[in-house]
Structure 1
Amino acid sequence: MSEPLVLVPGLNCTRALFGPQIAAFEGARPVLVANHTRDDTIPEIARRLLADAPPRFGLLGLSMGGYVALEVMRQAPGRVARLALLDTSARPDTDESKANRERLIALAGTDRFAEVADILWQRYVAPHRQNDAALARIVMGMQRETGPQTFARQQRAIMGRVDSRPDLPGIEIPTLVLVGEDDVITPPEHAREIAEAIEWASLVVVPGCGHLSTLESPGIVNEAIGAWLAAGA
């Protein structure tokens, strides 16, 4: 059986974020989903992932999961056989983003977490998917399962992340960088910045897709992941 694959979900997301990928790839390899709900900082989440993970593995993170994946590369690069960074950024949080996160944390703390979920939904998916009831059920279900306390913990961890751009040229393993064309949270320019800095990186821009590429465009994403898993095998 091929090397294990560790998946790291994004903010307010669960293993359901990777439902199509787990279904597609777990027959050929062990597929694990990291726990990113219990720790207060990105480095702590990365340490928990490393403690739970097999000795060597492929690593795929989306959004917040990408921040964690880049931290894993700082802490234990020799354990990662290949890296996939989906709809994420190597940049630190801006002051504007931090202020927006604080507003959402405050709103979630006043028993208005459902409103937070609605706000995020508008930014998570491409405009033409806003009325997709099936997709909304999955996304809203993940947010309900996460809950306001974990949401606040994850937001503060994201706010405290470091600038990963200086570390990118040192990544020398097969790397997939993928982003939705219509991602407004971590737009394509952030993905291009990552891909241009990593010599072994390939860039995939998914047309008509927003921030939750694994759910919005699973066919294209799975094809890209399959090629990445085969690279250097």
Structure 2
Amino acid sequence: MAQHRQPLWLLPGFLCDEDLWRDQLTGLADLAECTVADLGHADSIAALARQVLDAAPPRFALAGFSFGGYVAQEIARHAPQRIARLALLDTSFRADTPERLAQRLAANRTVSLPGKFRGMTEQLLPSFVAPPRLHDATLAQRINAMTLRQGREVFIRQNAMRREDGEAALRGLACPVLVLCGRLDALTPPALHEAMAALMPQARLVVVENSGHMSPMEQPAAVTRAMRDWLTA
């Protein structure tokens, strides 16, 4: 008998699109009916959460990567009963500090200057991928192409959105939860994910070896395997 495919909404990260989830879309197709949300067209994380809730079925599995993890937590804050299971990948539950907000606003001013939008440059890449992958030209090209497709306006819009504290929303969840990150994630390191998983007794923490922040693209097989376990838990 064919297995029931559950609805799964995948929320990409900052300047990311469906290519972030390319391998998971294939690797989870027998278990889930996957939809990748477009997070490029709203003026706040709350508005993005409402867009997903308006489009999604009454109950669904939800996975958020990085910036998408904040959107997932906003959904959990307002409609926890609609989340059948939650996965948070390479993300944070901490609110913006004033310093971080100032950094992002400064970046927006820089990006707003005249000139060509360059997306994920070679200078930025070391923050996002594990050191052994810095010379993987195919991976670098995929990441850069994704950020260029999103473009300057999405950069400015997403970067200006305030990230709220997600602790209370996560503590209130009773559904199965996967918390996953790359062992070498410099942006949202494993210690942060350990703290996040500790908020939810039912959470399973997975640390992916030989991966930086872009785990779904850097180590797709390991991420897909963890997500398959989560979808069948």
TM-score range, shorter chain: over 0.9
Which of 7, 15, 19 matches 1:12?
15
The DSSP-based 3-state class of the residue aligned with 1:37 is: coil
Question: Where does the alignment leave 5 or more consecutive residues of structure 2 unmatched?
Answer: none
- Residue 63 of structure 2 aligns with an amino acid whose one-letter code is L
Query: What residue in structure 2 maps to residue 224 of structure 1?
Result: 226
Deviations 1:137-161 (A, max 9, x none): 110010110001111100111xx12
Partners of 2:59 and 2:82 within 8 A in 1: yes
Aligned Cα root-mean-square deviation (Å) = 1.3
- Structure having the higher helix fraction is 1
- Distance across 1 between alignment mates of 2:72 and 2:128: 20
- Gap regions ≥5 residues in structure 1: none
- Which amino acid is 2:135 matched to? N
Residue 103 of structure 2: aligned partner: 100
Aligned to 1:56: 59
> Matches of residues 85-96 of structure 1 in structure 2 within 5 Å?
85-96=88-99
Q: Is the 8 A contact 2:119 2:144 kept in 1?
A: no
User: Which of 45, 64, 68 in structure 2 is aligned with 1:65?
Assistant: 68
After TM superposition, the score normalised by the length of structure 2 is 0.94
Q: TM-score, normalised by structure 1?
A: 0.94
Structure 1 residues 175-199: Cα deviation after superposition (integer angstroms, max 9, x where no partner): 0000111111111111111100111
Distance 1:171 1:99, change over 3 A: same
Alignment equivalent of 1:130, drawn from 121, 134, 148: 134
Percent identity, aligned pairs only? 40
Residues 117 and 143, structure 1, Cα contact 8 Å, conserved in 2: no
- Once the two structures are TM-superposed, the CA of residue 39 in structure 1 deviates from its matched residue by 0.4
TM-superposed CA distance for 1:94, in Å, is 2.0
**Cα 1:115–1:41 shift into 2, 3 Å:** closer
Letter in 2 for 1:114: R
Find the aligned partners of 1:206 and 1:147 in 2 and give their Cα distance. 29
CA–CA separation in structure 1 for the residues paired with 2:32 and 2:180: 21
Q: What amino acid maps onto 1:36 in structure 2? A: L
Provide the aligned length of Structure 1 versus Structure 2.
229
* Structure 1 position 3 matched with structure 2 position 15: no
Corresponding residue SS for 2:32: coil
Query: What secondary structure, in the 3-state scheme, does the structure 2 residue paired with 1:114 have?
Result: coil
CA 1:230 to 1:121, structure 2 compared with 1: closer, same or farther past 3 Å? Answer: same
The one of 37, 43, 49 equivalent to 2:46 is 43
